[in-house]
């Protein structure tokens, strides 16, 4: 019989059941789950952070490589061109830089074409890299990282626009002008020779009393033309707040006349502008604007020979108006002048040529190169650089002006002569195309003696004392050419008479006519025949030698308004001042109002202080647009007021130079080196 131990069996079953319950409880128990998740996430974060450490190390090394590479290629690109094999070259300098930085192993091999250095330009390209061992990324199988850099430096610009604003006032005569001409020509050559791959547009702006534009520029502007003697423009103070000259703005034309203090006796009627322009007492020297190609602006030339001819032709005369020079220099760099530059590609400018003594011998012409697609470029253009070099050898001087009570110098003000002035139409000068005066001659009649003898042989009168010749005055007709004779008359407000300006009588001593007598002369005029044959010859009009007097005569002939084709013309004041100075007008007419305005003591004059302010304004305007301005105080020395005014114009104090005739060449050379600025292009 088998015995069963029920108690033992029950204990075993109870143990199994207990384990099942415990296992079930363990499976469903959530205590400690967050801790496990936290440990898991922490592991992932630490892993990612370790990656960041390695990546940051890589970026630090890359930045260090890039900084050293940029500095190295910039330094290498400045190595002067030299074919001497013993002289360190660009590659030597590049490698030396990396060696001193302790990175020589990082620099890649230099391939053909990476370094190109010529006399005109330089290009240096290089690359470098380093391999870094990782610290924690190796846990993921990434054992190394690479840091790489590349850089290129160039020393060239695609379009260089330069305005040379040069003082040619009378104080520049002699050694100063000679030294300037040599230095300026070397500057032009140096820039042109170092512009490979780019275009250069040089403008030369000579300034003294004014800065006259050539006909091609003047005709491309919308100037308010009031005479044809010269082409200078006048600006009001507000115009100097802007760097540009607006081609669509009707700027006032500068009145053409001359200073004459009587004791100089340098400008009789019809001789304004006569004489040697380099003689400080001549009417030519003291003219308000020079009608001489040696003093005219030359715009946008890239031709070395033309530029040298222009510089060689520079002549010293007149006072100083640096505000006008800088205004034109800035305008030639301003994009508003693009229509003018386009016009100059079709309309020629004159290049003066001179002999060894500086005398004008002839001119030749030039056109602006059509390869310039946009000239001047916009200020924001990345491919263009704009440079203005301003040279002066002294302080600004007074500019004499006739007063402008009606504000006619402002193009925005409608023309009015409500207040009395010496501008505009209806001057006191008249031109009458009068019938030629009857001519007479003495005709021999007979010879007689005290004793009653009579002979018809005229020769006896000179052979024997007792023979006396008898003559009759016989009219032989008008001018043998059959042409009327133009005559000038000047009205005197003080005597209310019209004075005939007869050079044979002395202009102030000419015949005088009352108003009624003068009107009667007009009524008696013959029909106009279109010929003013002896106008220039009779009064020696100075500007006739440069073909501007002919333009004036054409203008007079085309605009007379007398009915029935009877010719007389009442000149405008602007036309009149080109034939007489304010002093000469006062001396003949007794009206000294114009002279009281046009002299050094007049409140109408433009003072040196006002010119300095204008120059500073336009310099600031150009500088604010990104024009780099260099200034040269020539033969002035430190502390000179004029030098300080020039320094205000410079873009930075470092761009201002003090120079003498001994080192002006070095000064221009230093500026040329700065102009060929270094550009990091990549």
DSSP structure string for 488-529: EEEEETTTTEEEE--TTT-GGGS-EE-HHHHHHHHHTPPBP-
Amino acid 321: pLDDT: 97
Pairing verdict, β 384-392 and 159-167: parallel
Amino acid 110: pLDDT: 87
Name the region of 496 (left: φ>0; alpha: ψ -120 to 50; beta: rest). Answer: left
472 touches 421 (CB < 8 A)? no
Which domains occur in the chain, in start order? 36-154 (no CATH), 159-254+293-399+606-680 (3.40.50.410), 439-477 (no CATH)
Residue in 500, 512, 490 with CA at minimum distance from that of residue 589: 490
pTM of the entire predicted model? 0.74
**Separation CA 423–CA 403 (nearest Å):** 9
Q: Kindly state the tokens that stand for 371.
A: 């390869």
Phi, psi of 492 (to 5 degrees): -105, 110
Residue in 265, 278, 591, 564 with CA at minimum distance from that of residue 421: 591
For residue 347, count other CB atoms closer than 10 A to its CB.
17
Amino acid 547: pLDDT: 45
According to the 3-state scheme, what is the secondary structure of 625-669? CCCEEEEEEECCCCCCHHHHHHHHHCCCHHHEEEECCCCHHHHHH
Amino acid 580: pLDDT: 92
**Separation CA 281–CA 260 (nearest Å):** 9
**Separation CA 538–CA 566 (nearest Å):** 21
According to the 3-state scheme, what is the secondary structure of 66-129? HHHHHHHHHHHHCCCCCCCCCCCCHHHHHHHHHHHCCCCCCECCCCCCCEEECCCCEEEEEEEE
Instruction: State the number of CA atoms in the 13 A half-sphere of 192 facing the CB.
Output: 16
Place of tokens 């390869």: 371
Q: Kindly state the tokens that stand for 205.
A: 């702006």
Q: Kindly state the tokens that stand for 138.
A: 């190796």
**Separation CA 85–CA 219 (nearest Å):** 56
217 touches 344 (CB < 8 A)? yes
Residues 6+ away with beta carbon under 8 Å from 400: 259, 288, 598, 599, 600, 602, 604, 605
Cis geometry, peptide bond prior to residue 376 (ω within 30 degrees of 0): yes
3-state secondary structure of 199: strand
3-state secondary structure of 569: strand
Q: Kindly state the tokens that stand for 177.
A: 């002008």
**Separation CA 204–CA 166 (nearest Å):** 7
434 touches 426 (CB < 8 A)? no
Instruction: State the number of CA atoms in the 13 A half-sphere of 599 facing the CB.
Output: 14
**Separation CA 616–CA 612 (nearest Å):** 6
Pairing verdict, β 199-207 and 159-167: parallel
Report the run of H or E that residue 252 belongs to, with start and end: strand 252-253
pLDDT lower than 50: segments of the chain:
1, 6, 478-481, 533-534, 536-538, 542-549, 563, 678-682
3-state secondary structure of 184: helix
Q: Using one digit for the tens of pLDDT, what is the confidence trace for 2-15?
A: 555 545 555 555 55
Helices (H), 110-197: 175-193
Amino acid 1: pLDDT: 45
**Separation CA 430–CA 519 (nearest Å):** 12
Residues 6+ away with beta carbon under 8 Å from 23: none
**Separation CA 610–CA 602 (nearest Å):** 14
Amino acid 523: pLDDT: 83
Residues 6+ away with beta carbon under 8 Å from 88: 79, 96
Amino acid 680: pLDDT: 39
Q: Using one digit for the tens of pLDDT, what is the confidence trace for 226-270?
A: 988 899 999 999 999 999 999 999 999 999 999 886 666 667 888
173 touches 316 (CB < 8 A)? yes
Amino acid 531: pLDDT: 56
Residues 6+ away with beta carbon under 8 Å from 13: none
Residues 6+ away with beta carbon under 8 Å from 304: 188, 189, 192
Amino acid 248: pLDDT: 96
Sign of CA dihedral 395, 401, 405, 409: negative
485 touches 432 (CB < 8 A)? no
Amino acid 629: pLDDT: 96
């Amino acid at each position: 019989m088998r015995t069963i131990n029920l108690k033992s069996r029950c204990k075993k079953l109870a143990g199994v059941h207990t384990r099942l319950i415990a296992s079930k409880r363990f499976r469903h128990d959530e205590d400690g789950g967050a801790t496990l998740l936290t440990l898991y996430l922490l592991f992932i974060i630490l892993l990612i952070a370790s990656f960041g450490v390695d990546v940051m190390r890589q970026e630090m090394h890359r930045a260090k490589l890039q900084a050293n590479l940029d500095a190295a290629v910039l330094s290498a690109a400045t190595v002067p061109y030299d074919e001497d094999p013993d002289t360190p070259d660009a590659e030597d300098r590049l490698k030396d830089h990396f060696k001193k930085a302790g990175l020589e192993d990082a620099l890649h091999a230099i391939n053909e074409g990476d370094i190109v250095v010529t006399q005109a330009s330089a290009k240096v390209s290089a690359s470098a890299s380093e391999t870094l061992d990782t610290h924690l990324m190796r846990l993921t199988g990434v054992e190394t990282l690479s840091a790489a850099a590349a850089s290129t430096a160039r020393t060239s610009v695609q379009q260089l626009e330069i305005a040379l604003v040069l003082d040619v006032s009378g104080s520049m005569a002699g050694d100063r002008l000679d030294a300037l001409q040599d230095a300026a020509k070397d500057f032009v050559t140096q820039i042109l020779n170092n512009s490979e791959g780019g275009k250069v547009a040089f403008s030369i702006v000579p300034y003294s009393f004014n800065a006259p534009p050539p006909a091609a520029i003047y005709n491309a502007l919308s100037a308010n033309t009031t005479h044809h003697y010269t082409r200078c423009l006048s600006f009001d103070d507000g115009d100097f707040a802007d760097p540009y000259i607006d081609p669509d703005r009707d700027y006032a034309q500068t009145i053409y006349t001359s200073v004459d203090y009587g004791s100089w006796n340098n400008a009789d009627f019809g001789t304004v502008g006569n004489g040697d322009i380099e003689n400080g007492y001549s009417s030519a020297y003291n003219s308000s604007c020079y009608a001489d190609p040696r003093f005219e602006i030359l715009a946008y030339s890239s031709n070395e020979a033309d530029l040298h001819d222009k510089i060689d032709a520079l002549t010293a005369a007149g006072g100083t108006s640096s505000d006008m020079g800088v205004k034109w220099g800035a305008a030639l760099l301003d994009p508003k002048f693009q229509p003018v530059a386009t016009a100059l590609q079709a309309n020629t400018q004159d290049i003066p040529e001179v002999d060894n003594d500086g005398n004008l011998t002839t001119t030749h012409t030039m056109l602006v190169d059509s390869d310039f697609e946009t000239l001047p470029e916009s200020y924001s253009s990345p491919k263009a650089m704009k440079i203005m070099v301003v040279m002066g050898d002294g302080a600004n001087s007074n500019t004499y002006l006739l007063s402008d009570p009606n504000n006619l110098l402002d193009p925005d003000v409608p023309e009015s002569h409500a207040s009395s002035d010496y501008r505009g139409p209806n001057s006191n000068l008249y031109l009458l195309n009068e019938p030629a005066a009857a001519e007479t001659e003495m005709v021999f009649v007979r010879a007689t003696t005290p004793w009653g003898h009579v002979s018809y042989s005229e020769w006896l009168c000179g052979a024997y004392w007792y023979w006396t010749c008898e003559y009759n005055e016989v009219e032989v007709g008008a001018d043998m050419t059959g042409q009327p004779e133009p005559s000038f008359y000047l009205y005197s407000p003080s005597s209310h008479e019209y004075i005939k300006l007869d050079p044979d009588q002395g202009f102030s001593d000419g015949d005088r006519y009352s108003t009624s007598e003068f009107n009667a002369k007009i009524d008696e005029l013959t029909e106009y025949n279109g010929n003013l044959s002896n106008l220039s010859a009779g009064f020696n009009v100075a500007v006739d030698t440069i073909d501007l007097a002919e333009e004036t005569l054409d203008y007079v002939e085309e605009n007379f308004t007398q009915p029935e084709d009877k010719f007389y013309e009442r000149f405008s004041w602007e036309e009149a001042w080109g034939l007489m100075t304010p002093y000469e007008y006062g001396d003949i007419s007794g009206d000294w109002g114009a002279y009281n305005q046009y002299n050094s003591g007049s409140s109408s004059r433009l003072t040196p202080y006002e010119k300095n302010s204008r120059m500073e304004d336009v310099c600031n305007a150009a500088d604010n647009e990104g024009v780099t301005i260099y200034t040269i105080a020539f033969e002035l020395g430190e502390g000179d007021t004029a030098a300080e005014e020039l320094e205000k114009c410079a873009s930075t104090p470092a761009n201002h130079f003090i120079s003498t005739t001994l080192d002006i060449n070095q000064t221009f050379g230093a500026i040329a080196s700065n102009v060929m600025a270094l550009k990091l292009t990549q």
